Chains A and B, each alone.
Chain A
């Protein structure tokens, strides 16, 4: 009898809808109640912070001080959002998070472009042109992905200082391009390895060289993986804090750094509603990407797990 109960917990792909045999209705729904209540409780844990951010950012300070953190705002105000975006102060600048936002845009766009351009060529050269010694470099690159950044940061500071771009946007772009290379190269290498080799051979018989095959055959074919790479990189670079705080000067600080400085500054009275509005504001870009891209975002994450 015990066995009979358990057979119903088999995953759904075994019994596509309606394909199941006789099943006792009552037990089935009991099992469902357990599953859905578990899911609901867990969903609460994941949704709670988003909800609290939202309601807090729409309340006025007096209401926050008196009321419950979970209570919806009795009087909705967008004042905190406006302040967070355009007038809140970090240090001497009082032009709000908008500065960090635009800095982040200026950092993210070129970083995403260059890192993907370089990594896709790398992946293409590694998977199809396999020259001697290429795998040695690739192995170092992949091992490098596991080296804590802290080990490489200081020499990087020296290098950028020597070149004269320490603190500049271009320096930060270079850093993102370099440290994004392992995962992206792996991503593209795996993708191009799955392209039938005969296609590459056919193109060579047709007289196409390295760049002609890349631009005219491989790149157009790689559109899906390009999208995945853009999602992966945009999210990662937008969310970066460590490189931003080290490799840019305060006027160039990305949104994450500025946000942290606003919220965790010790001066003045804490305005929790403004803080939460600012936090939500800087989460907006990656959240939008996440919601729009859906399955592709998941694919980008899984790409990190694909074995080389």
Chain B
């Protein structure tokens, strides 16, 4: 895969604070990359650097093989969509779409052609003569996407584009963006703090914290084999359960948590023979109940403290060895607070993290 956007040793400092720390990232042509993280992790900063709206302190950025580190935003061959839509309020939708092209002195008939194409693709032709104030949130964001579209560029940048929309619209536009990507095949870099958006849209997700990328991988890989405890905790809802455990050097294939001895023969080790105090992580949806529990390698009896029926599933809150422990059961499961549930645990599905560096074991 040919790389389209390439970031080398990128560093950005505000005084003594480094927002981006020697970041390296290669994004392939036509790839949909999601930058995911909580606020302040540097994801938006990185996107603004790629766009040329922020000057890095050090390092370089290549787009289509050209070093654009110091180029103007408009010279980089990018289009950008913002969280607040950022439509020019006094211009019509058409004015918004064509502002960039007029600045670039694109011939009139070419402008017309591109506007027609983009508005057709986003179904905004009826809105062309309206002002942004007369549009709904969803329509505004469509126009904002259209503004990036008419630029006819290889790279699209999205800065939390759906965060200002309500849940229903967000889901709709999410699908639409995915469809757009399939149709255009452009490179898309998408910043969000919403894990659902990340999981559904991305070819690869880069999870960021404190100005560095903790893990860069396909969504499934991130979900199944998180490389870092933070990643494991961030992805998945409800979050992964963590048990305080120890791997004794004398028996490196057993993790002991409380009075439980968990055999690790079938655990997919990242670092073989690692011992010492660890976090033993297991997702609530990977816990077996009922008959399946009885055939699991490890079994525990838990008291259901709190039951949250959600329709499609039922969430049960409990405590195991002093730490909160959640499990996910079928929506039809008959369970009430105070019941004892037998839970089966399969070490194959677990993620173990070293306590000192928080990396996967």
Contacts and interface: CB of A to CB of B under 8 A. Distances in A.
A208 interface: yes
Nearest to A206: B100
A216 B103 CA distance: 11
30 contacts: A196-B84, A196-B86, A198-B85, A198-B159, A199-B84, A201-B48, A201-B51, A201-B53, A201-B73, A201-B86, A202-B82, A202-B87, A202-B144, A203-B99, A204-B74, A205-B74, A205-B79, A206-B99, A206-B100, A206-B103, A207-B72, A207-B73, A207-B74, A207-B100, A207-B104, A208-B103, A212-B103, A217-B88, A217-B90, A221-B89
Given A196-B84, A198-B84, A220 B90 contact: yes
A216 B80 CA distance: 20
B78 interface: yes
A198 B73 CA distance: 13
B103 A207 contact: yes
Given A198-B82, A198-B84, A212-B103, A205 B89 contact: no
B147 interface: yes
Interface in B77-107: 78-80, 82-90, 99-100, 103-104
Interface in A239-286: none
Query: Of residues B48, B88, B100, which shows the largest number of chain A Cβ atoms within 10 Å of its Cβ?
Result: B88
Nearest to B103: A207
Interface of B: 48, 51-53, 72-74, 78-80, 82-90, 99-100, 103-104, 144, 147, 159
Contacts of B89: 221
Nearest to A196: B84
Contacts, number: 62
Interface in A144-201: 196, 198-199, 201
Contact of B86 (A198, A207, A212): A198
Contact of A205 (B84, B87, B100): B100
Q: Is the interface of A mostly helix, strand, loop or mixed?
A: helix
A227 to B, nearest CB: 15
Given A207-B74, A208-B99, A202 B104 contact: no
A-B CB proximity, top 9 nearest? A207-B74, A206-B100, A198-B86, A202-B86, A207-B103, A198-B82, A220-B90, A199-B86, A205-B73
- Among B78, B82, B144, residue most surrounded by chain A Cβ atoms (within 10 Å): B82
B332 to A, nearest CB: 46
Contacts of B87: 199, 202
Contacts of A201: 48, 51, 53, 73, 80, 82, 86
Contacts of A206: 74, 99-100, 103, 147
A196 B83 CA distance: 11
Contacts of B53: 201, 204-205
Contacts of B52: 204
A206 B73 CA distance: 8
Contacts of B72: 204, 207
A208 B104 CA distance: 9
